[in-house]
Amino acid sequence: MPWLAISLELEPVPAEAMSEALMEAGADSVALEPAGAHTRLTALAAAGADAAALVAAAARAAALPLPGFSAARLEDEDWVRRSQSQFGPIQVSEMIWIVPSWHEPPDRAAIAVRLDPGLAFGTGSHPSTRLVLKSLEQRIAAGDRVLDYGCGSGILAIVAAKLGAGEVAAVDIDPQALETTNENARINGVSLRVALPGELPAGTYDMILANILAGPLIALEAQIAAYTRTGGRVVLSGILQSQAAEVAAAYARDFETSVGAAEEGWALVEGTRR
């Protein structure tokens, strides 16, 4: 089918935030490449998509000024799958590798998560994803009940299950993300409860993981707090370092919060439920 290609240029850190936001807003894929002192983003969306509305929604979600952009029609070609050739195994930590299906695990003693880059965000290559995975590896306890809120590809939920969580749920507002998460869970041989947020049964969790964006995280504080047991933890990412204090302050209503590790301009916010 034909595609709509949307191109824009931003400084590197805002470009990463805009990349995530474009995926959340409905782009099918986003590619980033250096462009002098800036980063060029090329987002692919369905041919009938409204480019202006998609860019505006992404800029709002990323808390960025509305950028200039250009849009052009691309004729029939599988651009999303062709881009997979750019991806190889990613080492998140000594214990965790993210491995596309066309590669063999580099370290058979480590935890290998089989994950193909595709239409849902979350391949393990982004600093915000790595920050959550490293925290998860350090803090999860055997048998924990874990909720991945805004699961995308399901990478966080799958790693939680492989690290010994007792029960793992994954929710997202995008049905395509839920389909992708279910398929990735099947490939990795783990059992997840995958649902829209409104379909999640009542109950609380020992740990909630949310790698979204600062604006949606702030808006979701009450819902995330309601799903966290007293003494349970939240691990929040998708947050620029400049936004971390604001997110921590929003969650201080119900959590003892702190700004944790940072990487390449992105920060982790963690909290314990009071």
Q: What is the pTM for the complete model shown?
A: 0.75
Scan for tokens 């799903």, then name that residue.
227
CA angle 68/241/181 to nearest 5° reads: 80
pLDDT at 79: 54
CA angle 60, 84, 15 (to 5 degrees): 25
Distance, CA of 172 to CA of 159 (rounded, Å): 17
Q: What are phi and psi of 265, to 5 degrees?
A: 85, 0
Q: Higher model confidence: residue 126 or residue 25?
A: 25
Q: What is the pLDDT of residues 55-91, one digit of tens each?
A: 999 999 999 999 999 998 876 555 555 555 556 788 8
Q: Look at residue 198 and tell me whether its pLDDT is greater than 70.
A: yes
- Residue ranges and CATH numbers for the domains of the chain are 3-82 (3.30.70.260), 119-273 (3.40.50.150)
Using DSSP bridges, classify how beta strands 228-240 and 167-171 pair: parallel, antiparallel or unpaired: unpaired
96-99 and 111-114 beta bridge pairing: parallel
Going by DSSP bridges, is the β-strand pair 38-46/266-273 parallel, antiparallel, or unpaired? Answer: unpaired
pLDDT of 87: 62
Which of the four pLDDT bands, split at 50, 70 and 90, describes residue 103?
A: confident
Task: Kindly report the number of other CB atoms within 10 A of residue 24's CB atom.
Answer: 23
Look at residue 77 in the predicted model and tell me its pLDDT: 56
Question: pLDDT tens across 11-34, in order?
Answer: 988 988 998 899 889 888 787 788
Q: Check residue 227 and give its pLDDT.
A: 97
Cβ atoms within 10 Å of 107's Cβ, excluding its own: 14
